């Protein structure tokens, strides 16, 4: 019975990490979209919030093998994307 509880706790922990990663991924995409909109409008923008979320995601990706590590985003990357 204790093996079952240990496995259940392990799976629950993994599920929590995956859910947290997915929520962070949504936040990251929102921040990227905001930066793109500001860039298109010629307004100042920062990638700080994007990269803060990216750091958290990358820490989680080290805990579970199949979660992809995300690339840090630079202002230049946003500008290049918007100019396409």
- The whole-angstrom separation of Cα 39 and Cα 33 is 10
The percent of residues above 70 in pLDDT, for the chain, comes to 96
pLDDT at 71 exceeding the cut of 90: yes
Q: Which residue has the tokens 């985003």?
A: 73
Residue boundaries of the structural domains of the chain? 2-83
pLDDT at 26 exceeding the cut of 90: yes
In terms of Cα–Cα distance, which of 73, 8, 5, 78 is closest to 43? 78
CB atoms within 10 A of CB 1: 5
**Residue 67: pLDDT band by 50, 70, 90 thresholds?**
very high
Q: What's the whole-number average pLDDT of the chain?
A: 93
pLDDT at 1: 60
- Mean pLDDT of the region 58-73: 94
pLDDT at 53: 99
State residue 54 phi and psi, 5-degree precision.
Answer: -60, -40
């Amino acid at each position: 019975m204790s093996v079952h509880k240990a496995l259940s706790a392990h799976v629950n922990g993994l599920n929590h990490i995956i859910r947290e990663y997915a929520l962070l991924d949504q936040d990251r995409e929102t921040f990227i979209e905001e930066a793109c909109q500001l860039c298109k409008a010629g307004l100042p923008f920062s990638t700080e919030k994007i990269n803060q979320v990216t750091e958290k995601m990358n820490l989680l990706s080290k805990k579970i093998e199949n979660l992809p590590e995300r690339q840090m985003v630079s202002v230049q990357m946003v500008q290049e994307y918007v100019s396409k």
